[in-house]
């Protein structure tokens, strides 16, 4: 009888690298219960999940290159650095992370907060508590949209070689 067990232990696979057919979603929220619920929902749906507790921690993870998500879901109201400031700083990073779709959310949302989040580069603003069906649809929509853009190059994700704020800028000589 042939042994069908792999020769290497399962835990030898680096936990940071998801399977090739899996999208990675970066969840940024200061409340552990929100990260747990959202993480469980996303993992059940087949996504790999990476978490951070605030904007500073998230930016450090993105800048160090240890995390290159396919999509980011972030809270707005967090200590240390809020989600709107984090989104703005992500959009100015000099890497393909600058073009990753971002869903911003808050339980205390008003029109001004929503406008601010979208103005700095959030792709979508949702109100908490999440309607999980709506969140799943929006995640799917944003991932498809990001994958369909044929103008993106492999070095930065944008047609101009910079971040997406570089698109459409004209230099007057």
Question: Residue 8 falls within a domain, yes or no?
Answer: no
For the question of whether the overall pTM of this predicted structure is more than 0.95, the answer is: no
The residues, any chain, with a CB within 8 Å of residue 64's CB and separated by 6 or more, are none
Return d(Cα 119, Cα 121) in angstroms, integer: 6
Return d(Cα 99, Cα 54) in angstroms, integer: 20
Question: Residue 12 falls within a domain, yes or no?
Answer: no
CB 99 within 8 A of CB 163: yes
In tens, the pLDDT along 79-131 reads: 999 999 999 999 999 878 999 999 999 998 899 999 999 999 999 999 999 89
Q: Give the count of beta carbons closer than 10 Å to the beta carbon of residue 9.
A: 8
- Residue 89, domain extent: 19-147
What is the number of structural domains in the chain? 1
């Amino acid at each position: 009888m042939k042994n069908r067990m792999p020769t290497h232990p399962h835990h030898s696979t680096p936990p940071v690298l998801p399977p090739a057919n899996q999208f990675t979603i970066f969840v940024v929220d200061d409340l552990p219960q929100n990260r747990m619920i959202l993480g469980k929902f996303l993992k059940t749906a087949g996504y790999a999940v990476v978490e951070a507790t605030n904007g500073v921690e998230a930016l450090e993870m993105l800048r160090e290159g240890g995390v290159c998500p396919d999509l980011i879901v972030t809270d707005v109201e967090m200590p240390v650095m809020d989600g709107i400031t984090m989104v703005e700083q992500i959009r100015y990073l000099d890497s393909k992370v600058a073009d990753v779709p971002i869903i911003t959310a808050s339980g205390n949302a008003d029109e001004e907060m929503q406008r601010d989040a979208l103005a700095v580069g959030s792709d979508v603003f949702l109100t908490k508590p999440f309607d999980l069906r709506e969140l799943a649809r929006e995640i799917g929509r944003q991932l498809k949209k990001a994958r369909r853009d044929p103008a993106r190059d492999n070095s930065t994700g944008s047609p101009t070689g910079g971040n997406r704020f570089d698109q459409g800028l004209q230099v007057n000589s």
